[in-house]
Amino acid sequence: MKKVQVFADKTELGEAAAKQSVKILKDAVARNGYAVWVLAGGSTPLPGYQAVVDKYADALDWTKVTLVMGDERIGPNDGPDNNWHAIDKIIGKIHATKVFPNADQSAEDAAEEYEVQLSVLPKGDAGVPRLDLVWLGIGPDGHTLSLFPNHASLLPSGGLVTAVHDSPKPPADRITLNLRAMQGAEHVMVLATGKDKQKIIAQAVKGNNLPIALVARIVETHEGSVTWLVDKSAAPAD
Ligand code: 6PG
């Protein structure tokens, strides 16, 4: 699979992401009888979730797939900021197992509870849950999930979930899968559209110490793959 894939717009990108993701999930289910898909928050991936529902609702046995929310904003679970709430409106009809946090509590309590929910997932060679497919968004500052540049969210952890405060991207309080959790990622797809992400994509694809590049390096060091799906305005110039 080509490392950087360029699409005309977010709809075409979403359709491609859905098609490639369903193949990865089907292969994982065939191999292990089970697949885990970590979902990205934010707005970019929403057309991709819609494409999965529209075109692939019958493409595999979704009851063998577990959907996991990659990060969540602290606040009402049915509030406008809640990543899972936005995604579930689209994929709610898919009969997968769904693992998402209760964000209507302190970040520490939400992280602790979510850690327990994730601890039952089958582990891979790195001793953390095997994440067959991980969708990631990216911010113009190079953040991904709720891992931010020069921020405590990047500090080493013995767990999988980190409580985040003072997020540069509102809301301030969040929880997130952390760098240790990303050691279990098999296939990562970074989804990015818009001119405001072109510079950071070009830098991150080459490698640097921004969160998205740190995650990519961790994944590839653990024999995982990273694919960058971008629209024309976010595509690296060279
Ligand atoms: C969040 C996301 C965050 C998001 C990026 C891109 O909860 O805010 O996890 O990492 O993926 O900020 O967001 P957009 O896709 O909306 O640009």
Question: pLDDT of 74-114, one tens digit each?
Answer: 999 999 999 999 999 999 999 999 999 999 999 999 999 99
Whether 1 shows a pLDDT value over 80: the answer reads no
Whether 191 shows a pLDDT value over 70: the answer reads yes
Q: Which atom of ligand 1 is nearest to the CA of 176?
A: 9
Per-residue pLDDT band at 73 (split at 50, 70, 90): very high
Give me the mean pLDDT over the 223-233 stretch. Answer: 97
Strands 71-73 and 174-177: antiparallel
Whether 34 shows a pLDDT value over 80: the answer reads yes
* H/E segment holding residue 216: helix 211-221
In this structure, the residue with its CA closest to atom 7 of ligand 1 is 41
Whether 238 shows a pLDDT value over 80: the answer reads no
Distance (Å, rounded) from C-alpha 37 to C-alpha 33? 14
143 CA distance to ligand 1 centroid (A)? 8
Whether 234 shows a pLDDT value over 70: the answer reads yes
Ligand 1 pocket member 196 (CB < 6 A): no
Per-residue pLDDT band at 157 (split at 50, 70, 90): very high
Ligand 1 pocket member 44 (CB < 6 A): yes
pLDDT at 237: 87
In this structure, the residue with its CA closest to atom 8 of ligand 1 is 42
